[in-house]
Amino acid sequence: MNNTDLMRLRSKIVSDLASLEETTSATRTVIIESADVIPNYLQSEIDAAKDTTDIDNAVSVFDHCTARKQALKNALIRMDRGEFGICQSCGIEIGTARLQVAPGTNNCIHCQEEMEMRFPRAKSPSLITGSIRELGVA
């Protein structure tokens, strides 16, 4: 990968981090405000279910953005160390096209596919209390 590609990717990462920070901040506000709402015992079950779903969705967005921010920060660290774009599993160069789409990736496409075959992601339920605790609300 040449220096021009690295500079473009660094710029993209910095821009993505700024956007994710805005999203995380707005979502944090929604979660905190939702946690402050006193339950309305006269509220219908449908409204209560909707409120719970809205909070659950906000927590999912917050968790996803937080993980993505960390991956991008780690990518910047790898850039500074001269390790960016090298697969952490097999050591070959990760394709520029892959890095443009997923600059926070640690693996080449082959190793990523192999890992996903070995360790398929299980869909886990959202842990609202854990995320709210991280926000300092609970």
Does residue 88 have a pLDDT over 90?
yes
Domain 3-135: CATH superfamily, name plus number: DksA, coiled-coil domain (1.20.120.910)
* pLDDT score of 122: 57
Q: What global pTM score does this model have? A: 0.76
Q: What is the pLDDT of residue 133?
A: 47
Domain boundaries, the chain: 3-135
Average predicted confidence (pLDDT) for the chain: 84
pLDDT greater than 60 at residue 127: no
Residue 135 pLDDT: 53
Which pLDDT score, from 0 to 100, does residue 126 have? Answer: 44
Instruction: Give the list of residues 6+ apart from residue 123 with CB closer than 8 angstroms, or none.
Output: none
Say which residue, 61 or 38, is predicted with more confidence.
61
